[in-house]
Amino acid sequence: MNNQKGVVFPMVLIIASIFIMLMILMIDQFIIDKRFYKEVEESLVADHLVHLAVKEVTAGWEEETPEIFQGDISYPNGLVRYSLMKQDGRYAFIEFSSTTANDRVGRIIIQYDKEAGMVVGWIEKQVG
């Protein structure tokens, strides 16, 4: 027993240090992934709000074509503002801006064909 000369204790320290470093790296990666998934979720919610508003606004478009066209639609996960940008003959351009409950913003402009009754163009705008 007196002949070991202190080999076990340094080996345990080295193995424990490696294990602790690996645990810290795994926790750090978990936190980064969690932030990323939360950001993706917010982006998808903002996009979904815009899709809902486009369907709702264009569903009532066939009855009549108003000259001044703007408003707000409130959903449980956020709010969507829309406004008619311009009309030229057959087409109308409508801008939609969604804001989620956590202040994530999504903006698009659609080109709506009034005669066909459908969206023919979809332009996503970058929000800085």
The separation between CA 98 and the C-alpha centre of its own chain, rounded to angstroms, equals: 10
In the sheet that holds 70-75, the strands lie side by side as 70-75, 78-88, 91-100, 105-113, 118-125
The verdict on residue 26 lying in a domain is yes
- For the chain, how many structural domains are there in total? 1
Answer yes or no: is pLDDT of 3 > 70: no
For the chain, what percent of residues have pLDDT higher than 70?
A: 88
Give the pLDDT confidence of 93-115 residue by residue, as tens digits: 888 999 888 888 888 888 888 77
Largest CA distance in the chain: 98
Neighbours of 110 (CB within 10 A): 20
The verdict on residue 2 lying in a domain is no
pTM: 0.72
**Host domain of residue 66:** 8-125
Q: Which tokens belong to 119?
A: 């969206």
Which CATH number fits the domain that encloses residue 79? 3.30.1300
The verdict on residue 31 lying in a domain is yes
The verdict on residue 102 lying in a domain is yes
Higher-pLDDT residue of 1 and 39 is 39
